[in-house]
Amino acid sequence: MRMRMRTARRSEVSTLMTGRMILRRALSTLQPTRRVWMGVTTERVAAWAPSGAVWLGVAGVALVWATAWKVVLGRIPYIKDTYPPSASSDD
């Protein structure tokens, strides 16, 4: 028994092509925008984003280092087991 592949009808093809043409026309009218907020453009934000992420990480490490770091790191699995429990006088 031989199976025939279904070919697309002419109306289906024209509908697909019309949809593609509408999409292309809509995308061609879009222009890149330069959003400016208080003198900062999107290009500048995109350029400084990696540096900002690094500085945010450095600030987080500095905060953990400067504060009660055993309390903060005591909530992280596998790391909290490295510190012995502190002796408390809550008996």
Q: Is residue 4 part of a domain?
A: no
Q: Is residue 24 part of a domain?
A: no
What is the extent of the structural domain holding 63?
49-91
pLDDT at 91: 45
Round to whole Å and give the CA distance between 34 and 45.
11
Q: Is residue 30 part of a domain?
A: no
In angstroms, how far is CA 37 from the centroid of its own chain?
A: 22
List per-residue pLDDT tens for the chain, 91 residues long.
Answer: 555 555 555 555 555 556 667 777 776 776 666 666 677 787 888 888 999 999 999 998 888 788 767 777 777 777 667 767 666 655 4
Task: Name the one residue in this structure whose structure tokens are 């909530």.
Answer: 75
> Count of domains in the chain?
1
